[in-house]
Structure 1
Amino acid sequence: MRFLILLLFPLFLTSLYSQNSGDNTVLKIGKITVTEEEFLNRYQLSPHFSDNELNPDSARMSFLYSLAAEKLWALEGEKLMADTSGIFINSMNSLKKMFLKDELYREVIDKNIAITPAEIDSGVRRFTSVVYVKMIACRDEAEAGEIRGLIDAGASFDSLLALRPEAKKQTEPFEVKFGSFDDTALEDSILFAPDRYISGPVKARLGWIIFKVTEKVPNPLAVDKPETVKSRVRNVIYERRSLKLTDIFMSSLLGGREISGNEEQFRKVLKLLTGLLSVKNISDTEGYNLTENDLKSVYYGLSPDELKAPFVYTGENSPSTADFLFYIFYQNARFRDNRPGYIAEVLKMYSRYFIEHEALAAEAVKRGLDLSAPVIHDTEMWKDNYLAQSAAASFSADVKITDDELKEYYEKKSGGVISSTQVNILEILNTDLDVISFVLEQLAAGADFRELAREVTQRTLVKEKGGEWGWFNADMAGDIGKIAAELEPGQIYGPVKTSVGYSVIKLIGKRKGSDSLSHSFDQIKDYLRQQLYVKKVSDLLTEKTVKLAGEQEIFIDIEKIRSLNITPLKVFTIRMIGFGGRMAALPYTTPFYEWVKYLKKPLF
């Protein structure tokens, strides 16, 4: 099985910006510049049709042309003022705040974390064991002392636990290993306890406990290479220190401030979300993440004044209701139930996070981090991608198929056939980046695609069929159909960004289809209209891209591009945002490169 996918494991990235001396431009179109770093990162972390090992130059060139098309359409989007729409402005504001928050984290948290070799060695000693325990939770030290006294007098720990409410959550013992607790003293008392040991009263974060060691086994991960183990240990120490520093910083940032919510705006958003989610088939195990279409539905359900109204009152420049909507969308807010009461609780939780998010972004601006190179670079890269998508969508929206065109097409083909590529795919669709990362990791390890689809796909119509679509014309299914037509049976590709989430597909069949036009015009006109629309849009986008290329001065350093040391990483990249949050590490570049064939002169 061959994979055309972005993953073997999640890769957690911060900003992709790096400072290098000298001119490292590989592509320049008008005022837009693409550096070696941007090209390299976006190429390595994107799926490709060509097998890089067999034909690296072909894959590299196809990606170059697709990226060049994105930049050309970004310039067109700017000319069309696509960046002035409310949706666009709010999207970019929300993204920029995430980049600001991330840069602030590096400034006040990351730079202040230093881990010594001695701390690593100490952590490695703790990493060697996994301990399984049962716990009796107590209100205070006095109660814990009484229970320990009963055990000393001969009472059975298990019998005492069975009488307590926490026993219901301990049908299996808790697993404790290095990094399980924020409280290192509690964790050490368990990790260094002998097998079958019953503790005395131990202070915990929310009270006191008495624990019993039921089993102590070697940590299977401790047999990894020493450097791998040290890396795992370092990550645990870093995370613990980061949490402590973050608590201190957030207390200083928000302590003493008066912040209140706008109840009226909260109720309006709740009403719209409740109506939207009430018709969704939401599973408690899988949950439901808001899609782009959901966001637009709620956004356009509010008036311009309501969108501008403060969602929370924080003093000067209180964040708006639109700010909150885009925040929960980019945070991949998940709903596991569609009861109004539950939705209200989820919104309250995200409202609290939103207050912290806005305060952090404002602090970053106060420190001048909005002018930092990483924030400017990341914002511009995503802005180009959004502008290109907006301009191309706006251009396509004007495409119409007239009745005369349709009739003429039918008459030309009447008595003949329309040839098209038909495909059959398996698909896993999900709005959650973590789920997609898990799926791709499992596929790379040899998991069965159909079984995974039955477990996690959110495409309910094909869930029980293991994600199988059945035969369909490739030119009738947008990017998914276009990509499927390029694959060979057995190949997997993804993720593909769509308006309803991320898709991973596997081609299980491909054939040349022929649709007879012996039917009457009225019987097949809707089918013909859709087919003609797809063809017309593709032809017009290609024609327009060629025209845009002719209007711009394009510089390509082909020697630099060919000399780049590129290793396809095959990882699904999630960018972890400092102070909390995650997003796709890079904009998705739609494969679009055949326009180059129609240029009057080569690009280089």
Structure 2
Amino acid sequence: MMMRLSFSLFFLLFFSAFSYSQPAKPLAMMGDQVITTDDFIMKWETTPQPGRELEGPMTESKEKLLKTMVAEKVLAAYARQLRLDTLYAIRRMIRSMEEISVRDQFFKADIQSKVSVTPAMLAEAEARAHEFRHIRFVFHPDYDSALFLYSRLKLGASFDSLLATRPESAEQPRPMQITFGSLEKPVEDAVYDTPVGGYTRPVRRPEGFFVFRVERIEPTPVVADKEKAIWKRKLDDMVHIREADTYYLEFMKTFFKGKEVATDGRLFRVLNRKLYEKLMPRMKSQTEKKRSPVSLSDGDVAAIERELGPDTLAMNLIKYATAPVKVRDFLWDLQFRGWNVITSDPERFKGEFGSITEIIARDAVLNHEAYRRGYASHPEVVKRLRDFSDYFLAERVKGRVADTIDVSEQEIRAQYEKESLKTADTVLVNAIEIQVEKAEQIPEILEAHRLGRSFSDLFRQYNQNPGLKHPDGETGWFLPSQRGGVGKDLAARRLMEILGPVKTGRYISLIQLIGKKKLGGVKPVEPEPYETVKADMAAKAWDEKFVQRLNGITVREARKQGLTMDLDALKTVKVTAVNMAAFQQMGFGGKVLVVPYTANYDEWYPDWKGKDPAP
């Protein structure tokens, strides 16, 4: 019952695109593609860039980002030459991105365009956002009974004594703290119109009627001047959300009338069983107190495909006359949406799978109408698809290169000899390190941390390197020189600051400094035994070999495509030092990065800048 009160029916963040007074100029050109100052600023301001807040003018970070963007375009063009864009997995990812984008345009046209927010609405939102209200409630499914409870309280009955006799008391071990946007609008209106110690008249909700008591009011934390603009924009977004809710409900009542959509029950049960079998081992390996959501991976989907076979994959799971959804498309779309579960109970799992299946069935109807209206040709959709297609294809090229890399015992030994050169340190550091395989996971982790989740908790959910053994992700105390440039950069951080994302071997790391202590004097690093660090040396040797091979492809293709770059023009581009990841909530549900996030890759540049190879 409490959970139903804590969120509104539909969420939408109206993303306001950055506006720039700087005229757009080309920064790089290759083949038929151009990276402009607008492209660069959007990428810079909406994706995290390691270390940029420490560099003053940030020239180095700006150059790294531009070189990364160039490499992505170059490798994507190469991938198209290899016809990697015809692979099913790539086509399906692009199709899923297109579908969520055309639905967003449909939403904007039929719902968002009708939203009108007045200055009075914004003033009310700001006034409410400055207060925390602590509330409790009594509940009854019948209005007359709820009105009787309200009357008793108004006549002086003890709220505590009354609540103690009722089943909803178990949900309220302490008062619930709310502020603007915490509750649905009718509930919030009733609560904010009630003084401390007062009671609301019965408030109708789908499950019944609530009578709220306002226990106390306290101010919310003061918003810093530098954060006020963002804070006010969020309030504006939330007011828009509520207005959009009204039109959304009206739309849903009328749009789906007469449209018949069904799910094949047998295929649903087969998929439910397969998904449960794939996800439960990972769920059950977690402790009861420290459970994190388990997501469907590419490997899970590929394994289910093999088990089902081509005939079953080609069947229609969702039956809609004009736009059915095949089993194979459904599975990959499920993975694209980031569907996850946090329960090992078979019935609850089935319920959660049923809910996402209903959403995908609903979206099939919306997709059909959005495509019929031609939203796939909308400039926003075309631009997003081009950006994300380039990202998907460039990552596929990197994956193909990675599949060709092996390191020999001799190469590992050579790496060990190189790393064993004596250096000196003045501190020891301790950290929590999260390593993931895909760059697009980084903004999600940073956003979760910004919202209050600890790095240890995030390690348990996201870390993909089984070699990191500590259950909370701690590295243990080590000398910075043992991690090369990464260790040096980490030692320069303040406690609890985050380094990264940085490429570390096969993985991309986010590292939080949690401890630093001075040594008694300058301490030389004695090389550790070879067998102790062999795995680390193998990872470093693999990474160097991978980068060298990828550099060769990138430089060759950049020359073929006639790459030109204007680093002088880049120096004049004005950007902020705020490190953030920006997501866009899409109409009719779903969340995507405003632009794709790519791990920095600029190692190719010195080779490209050097002399052309002899003919």
> TM-score normalised to the size of structure 1?
0.81
Residues 279 and 156 (structure 1 numbering): CA distance in 2 closer, same or farther, change over 3 Å?
same
The one of 483, 487, 494 equivalent to 2:500 is 494
Q: 1:379-528 alignment to 2 at 5 Å?
A: 379-400=385-406, 417-419=417-419, 425-428=431-434, 436-440=446-450, 466-469=472-475, 484=486, 487-491=489-493, 492-495=498-501, 503-506=509-512, 514=527
> CA offset at residue 243 of structure 1?
1.3
> CA offset at residue 489 of structure 1?
1.9
Bigger drift between 528-537 and 351-360 goes to 528-537
Q: What is aligned with 1:304?
A: 310
Bigger drift between 456-465 and 40-49 goes to 456-465
Q: 1:149-548 alignment to 2 at 5 Å?
A: 150-151=152-153, 155-184=157-186, 186-220=187-221, 231=233, 233-280=235-282, 281-282=285-286, 285-400=291-406, 417-419=417-419, 425-428=431-434, 436-440=446-450, 466-469=472-475, 484=486, 487-491=489-493, 492-495=498-501, 503-506=509-512, 514=527, 532-548=541-557
Bigger relative contact order, structure 1 or 2 (CA pairs below 8 A, ≥6 apart):
1
Alpha-carbon separation, structure 1, partners of 2:202 and 2:403:
69
Cα deviations across residues 155-175 of structure 1 (Å, max 9, x unaligned)? 433323222211111222233
Cα deviations across residues 484-517 of structure 1 (Å, max 9, x unaligned)? 3673425432356999998521367999775777
User: Which AA in structure 2 matches 1:63?
Assistant: L
Alpha-carbon separation, structure 2, partners of 1:571 and 1:344:
36
Alpha-carbon separation, structure 1, partners of 2:564 and 2:590:
37
Alpha-carbon separation, structure 1, partners of 2:472 and 2:533:
30
Alpha-carbon separation, structure 1, partners of 2:484 and 2:560:
28
Root-mean-square deviation (CA, aligned residues, Å) is: 4.3
Residue 146, structure 1, aligned to residue 156, structure 2: no
Bigger drift between 79-88 and 353-362 goes to 353-362
Alpha-carbon separation, structure 2, partners of 1:201 and 1:592:
59
Q: What is aligned with 2:9?
A: none
The one of 583, 586, 594 equivalent to 2:592 is 583
Please list every run of 5 or more consecutive structure 2 residues that lacks an aligned counterpart in the other structure: 1-11, 424-428, 517-522
User: Which AA in structure 1 matches 2:189?
Assistant: D
The answer to whether the 8 A contact 2:460-2:471 is kept is no
Residues 465 and 274 (structure 1 numbering): CA distance in 2 closer, same or farther, change over 3 Å?
closer
Residues 586 and 233 (structure 1 numbering): CA distance in 2 closer, same or farther, change over 3 Å?
closer
Bigger drift between 341-350 and 391-400 goes to 391-400
The answer to whether the 8 A contact 2:198-2:214 is kept is yes
Q: What is aligned with 1:563?
A: 572
Residues 48 and 214 (structure 1 numbering): CA distance in 2 closer, same or farther, change over 3 Å?
closer
> CA offset at residue 12 of structure 1?
6.6
> CA offset at residue 376 of structure 1?
0.6
Question: What is the SS of the residue equivalent to 2:198?
Answer: coil
Question: What is the SS of the residue equivalent to 1:302?
Answer: helix
Q: What is aligned with 2:27?
A: 26
Q: What is aligned with 2:602?
A: 593
Residues 330 and 498 (structure 1 numbering): CA distance in 2 closer, same or farther, change over 3 Å?
farther
User: Which AA in structure 2 matches 1:417?
Assistant: E
Alpha-carbon separation, structure 2, partners of 1:250 and 1:542:
52
Alpha-carbon separation, structure 1, partners of 2:529 and 2:506:
33
Bigger drift between 156-165 and 347-356 goes to 156-165
Question: What is the SS of the residue equivalent to 2:325?
Answer: coil
Cα deviations across residues 222-259 of structure 1 (Å, max 9, x unaligned)? 99898777545433321111111122223332222111
The answer to whether the 8 A contact 1:130-1:216 is kept is yes
Question: What is the SS of the residue equivalent to 2:215?
Answer: strand
Residues 383 and 553 (structure 1 numbering): CA distance in 2 closer, same or farther, change over 3 Å?
same
Q: What is aligned with 1:6?
A: none
The answer to whether the 8 A contact 2:28-2:565 is kept is yes
Residues 149 and 552 (structure 1 numbering): CA distance in 2 closer, same or farther, change over 3 Å?
closer
Q: What is aligned with 1:92?
A: 94
Alpha-carbon separation, structure 2, partners of 1:559 and 1:276:
52
Alpha-carbon separation, structure 1, partners of 2:307 and 2:556:
38
Cα deviations across residues 136-165 of structure 1 (Å, max 9, x unaligned)? 212222212433455567643332322221
The answer to whether the 8 A contact 2:14-2:240 is kept is no
Residues 540 and 515 (structure 1 numbering): CA distance in 2 closer, same or farther, change over 3 Å?
farther
The answer to whether the 8 A contact 1:289-1:333 is kept is yes
Question: What is the SS of the residue equivalent to 1:583?
Answer: strand
The answer to whether the 8 A contact 1:136-1:210 is kept is yes
Bigger drift between 15-24 and 351-360 goes to 15-24
Residues 262 and 135 (structure 1 numbering): CA distance in 2 closer, same or farther, change over 3 Å?
same
The answer to whether the 8 A contact 2:293-2:461 is kept is no
Bigger drift between 314-323 and 391-400 goes to 391-400
> TM-score normalised to the size of structure 2?
0.79
Cα deviations across residues 321-372 of structure 1 (Å, max 9, x unaligned)? 2332233323322211233323211110101111222323322212211001
Residues 496 and 369 (structure 1 numbering): CA distance in 2 closer, same or farther, change over 3 Å?
farther
> CA offset at residue 58 of structure 1?
2.5
> CA offset at residue 312 of structure 1?
0.8
The answer to whether the 8 A contact 2:434-2:511 is kept is yes
Alpha-carbon separation, structure 2, partners of 1:528 and 1:257:
60
The answer to whether the 8 A contact 1:26-1:35 is kept is yes
Bigger drift between 529-538 and 303-312 goes to 529-538
Q: What is aligned with 2:519?
A: none
The answer to whether the 8 A contact 1:436-1:495 is kept is no
> CA offset at residue 13 of structure 1?
7.5
Residues 276 and 228 (structure 1 numbering): CA distance in 2 closer, same or farther, change over 3 Å?
closer
Residues 566 and 153 (structure 1 numbering): CA distance in 2 closer, same or farther, change over 3 Å?
closer
Question: What is the SS of the residue equivalent to 2:27?
Answer: strand
Identity %: 21
User: Which AA in structure 2 matches 1:215?
Assistant: R
The answer to whether the 8 A contact 2:133-2:179 is kept is yes
Bigger drift between 13-22 and 565-574 goes to 13-22
The answer to whether the 8 A contact 2:53-2:577 is kept is no
Aligned length: 573
